[in-house]
Amino acid sequence: MEPNAKPRALVTGASRGIGAAIAVRLAQEGYQVFINYMGNEEKAAAVRDQIRASGGSAELCQFDVSQSAQVDEKFDWIAKNFGPLAVLVNNAGITIDGLLLRLKDEDLAKTLSIDLAGAIYCTRAAAKHMMKAREGSIVQISSVIGETGNAGQSGYAAAKSGLLGFSKSVAKELGSRKIRVNTITPGYIETDMTGALTENQKEAILRTVPLGFFGAPEDVASLVAFLASPASRYITGQVIGVNGGMYM
Ligand code: NDP
């Protein structure tokens, strides 16, 4: 690695939505950003080009977070060719909604494998290299639903609340190596994921938000930038909401 190389950050699911905003913000903060995505190469490339056009540094990094062999291979490739990651943001996620009695095995397995196991695989792969470097910041993007639960989202809630216990455990394991692990629980943020809601559903949700408006992906990205930076050096194992006050 060159002495003046930028610190490296990988954001999973950074082709759109919250992940894209996080990638753009971390690039503005001076990181070389690795943009992970699943299948949407065109959108991922647009995020990379946007970052490069404003003078930042970004690379595409396609893999499926739910496949641990792919994850290990890509994290080793980054460490070998660029150096260890300073920051990992586990943002990739899906939701397959439905009431419990109609919950299909394959939908539950898919949700858990991407939203929970995917974050665990990436954390394990990043920690291997961060431990040698004796520094790092890992940020999990969970959800307010992991704290409150939600009818029709039991599988998603199980995955997202599973992240909370996982992250606290890993924060305890890795603290002595100066690796911090924190979890953000966004409320309703305007992206493709929430775009599927009806107007009636949106109005009902807004009545539960004291600030009275939906969040933007950049609201989550601001907190990631802080948790990535040395300004948060004494913060680990925490769960922090970005939810307009809908859960306190
Ligand atoms: P989007 O649906 O807009 O984007 C999802 C991202 O995840 C895409 O980049 C997608 O890649 C990627 N992805 C999906 N599956 C995989 C996989 N197997 N491997 C790698 N990448 C994958 O989501 P949001 O931006 O809305 O949400 C981002 C995160 O924030 C999620 O974890 C979500 O649960 C959480 N969240 C969102 C809230 C919201 O209101 N929007 C609220 C609370 C939490 P591709 O484009 O290639 O398909």
- What is the number of the ligand 1 atom nearest to the C-alpha of 92? 7
161 lines ligand 1 (CB under 6 A): no
Rounded CA separation 158/142 (Å): 11
Which of 12, 107, 193 should be mutated for ligand 1, with most atoms under 8 A from CB? 193
* Per-residue model confidence as pLDDT tens digits over 31-59: 999 999 999 999 999 999 999 999 999 99
110 lines ligand 1 (CB under 6 A): no
Task: Please tell me the predicted confidence (pLDDT) of residue 231.
Answer: 98
Task: Please tell me the predicted confidence (pLDDT) of residue 194.
Answer: 83
* Per-residue model confidence as pLDDT tens digits over 190-215: 998 788 889 999 999 999 999 999 99
- What is the number of the ligand 1 atom nearest to the C-alpha of 67? 18
**Å from CA of 4 to ligand 1 middle:** 33
Region 139-157 average pLDDT = 98
Strand partners, 185: 241
3-state class of 211 per DSSP?
coil
Active site residue 121: no
Query: Which are the contacts of 210, defined by CB distance < 8 A and separation ≥ 6?
Result: 244, 245, 246
* Per-residue model confidence as pLDDT tens digits over 71-96: 999 999 999 999 999 999 999 999 99
Dihedral in degrees, nearest 10, Cα atoms 152, 93, 50, 183: 100
185 lines ligand 1 (CB under 6 A): no
Task: Please tell me the predicted confidence (pLDDT) of residue 193.
Answer: 79
- What is the number of the ligand 1 atom nearest to the C-alpha of 43? 46
Q: Are 97 and 46 in contact (CB under 8 A)?
A: no
Rg of the chain taking only CA atoms, in angstroms: 17
Region 11-38 average pLDDT = 98
Which of 10, 22, 35, 38 should be mutated for ligand 1, with most atoms under 8 A from CB? 38
The candidate with the shortest Cα–Cα distance to 190, out of 170, 218, 226, 163, is 218
**178-191 as b/e: b if 16+ CB within 10 A:** ebbbbbbbbbbbbb
The active-site residue out of 156, 188, 234, 247 is 156
Region 104-131 average pLDDT = 98
**With bands split at pLDDT 50, 70 and 90, how would you rate the model's confidence at 2?**
low
Rounded CA separation 8/16 (Å): 20
Distance of CA 234 to the CA centre of its chain: 21
